[in-house]
């Protein structure tokens, strides 16, 4: 495994000493924001985790190595290099074989975090079942990874560009618990509510950590979704953002945008239609998730 996996010294030391570590993805750096905002936001996420007394482990594939914990030079390289491909589970072997770079998605970050022994991962939002999936079969690999990989994912729910109802049904079928962080409502990324409920309200980081530990003790494979609503001061008006999302989805359909190109197209359209407000909300919900992820990781280490 050491031939493919490169864990930074500070992350390895923390893991060896049972100190809290929180994984972060790299797709948000290479595909979510433009330079230099992408690097600034990545560093801010790491700072939020450190403030809570945990160690950040940003994950990426660089030169055919799965990197767990990026140095400042590696972070700058990743944030300034153009056209780094997204790396999902299906892509890992070929990217490593060709010694390429890869931006890890939620699914791949979960997988690599698990290989490194990291149990908590903070991101923006999970992928899910796309609208009209009964026709397209477009279901994110994130959901299958959640069904199989033992990592708890702190997120602001799922974007309402997806079919949230079907996404939750899929998770239920595959035995993935959806726990709200101090909420009964499943959030919809830009908004605090989606109209759907979580399975349980995790009223504290301590009780969520206990649930993660018990799940592990019982040998119940698969991850856990920790749904953490965007802070109210950064949340967007539900009618406003949903109207924009519906227009973007319709535009994608009318232009024949399909497969892996749908989400980038829609998010770009949302950014333009909201005049950048969506990105502002996106950044702050990720910072909030990083903070909550660190709190949960700290409580997990106590157990």
Angstrom distance (rounded) from CA 2 to CA 206: 33
Q: Residue 124's closest CA among 297, 264, 235, 281?
A: 281
Catalytic residue among 25, 46, 48, 299: 25
CB atoms < 10 A from the CB of 255, how many?
Answer: 10
How far is the C-alpha of 125 from the C-alpha of 245, rounded, in Å?
Answer: 15
Is residue 25 annotated as part of the catalytic site, yes or no? Answer: yes
Q: 12, 67, 119, 159: which is the annotated catalytic residue? A: 159
159 catalytic? Reply is: yes
Distance (Å, whole) CA 144 – CA 105: 13
CA distances from 158 to 39, 76, 213 (A): 24, 28, 25
Q: What span, in angstroms and rounded, lies between the C-alpha atoms of 113 and 180?
A: 22
Residue that is written with structure tokens 């299958």 in the block: 144
**Alpha carbons within 13 A on the beta-carbon side of 275:** 1
Residues with catalytic roles? 25, 159
């Amino acid at each position: 495994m050491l031939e493919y996996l490169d864990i930074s010294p500070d992350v390895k030391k923390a893991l060896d000493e049972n100190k809290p570590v929180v994984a972060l993805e790299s797709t948000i750096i290479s595909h979510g924001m433009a330079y230099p905002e992408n690097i600034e936001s990545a560093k801010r996420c790491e700072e939020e985790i450190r403030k809570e007394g945990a160690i950040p482990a940003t994950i990426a594939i660089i030169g055919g190595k799965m990197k767990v914990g990026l140095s400042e030079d590696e972070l700058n390289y990743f944030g300034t290099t153009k056209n780094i491909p997204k790396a999902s589970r299906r892509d890992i072997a070929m990217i490593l074989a060709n010694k390429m770079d890869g931006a890890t998605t939620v699914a791949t970050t979960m997988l690599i975090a698990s290989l490194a022994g990291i149990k908590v991962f903070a991101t923006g939002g999970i992928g899910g079942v796309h609208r009209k999936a009964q026709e397209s079969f477009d279901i994110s690999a994130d959901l299958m990874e959640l069904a199989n990989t033992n990592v708890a994912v702190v997120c602001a729910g799922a974007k309402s560009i997806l079919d949230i109802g079907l996404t939750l049904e899929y998770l239920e079928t595959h035995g993935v618990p959806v726990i709200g962080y101090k909420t009964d409502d499943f959030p919809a990324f830009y908004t605090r509510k989606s109209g759907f409920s979580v399975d349980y309200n995790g009223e504290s980081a301590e009780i969520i950590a206990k649930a993660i530990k018990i799940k592990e003790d019982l040998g119940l494979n698969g991850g856990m979704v920790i749904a953490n609503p965007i802070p109210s001061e950064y949340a967007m008006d539900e009618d406003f953002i949903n109207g924009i999302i519906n227009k973007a989805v319709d535009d994608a359909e009318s232009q024949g945008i399909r497969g892996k190109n749908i989400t980038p197209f829609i998010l770009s359209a949302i950014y333009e239609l909201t005049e950048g407000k969506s990105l502002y909300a996106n950044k702050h919900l990720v910072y909030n998730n990083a903070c909550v992820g660190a709190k949960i990781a700290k409580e997990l280490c106590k157990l």
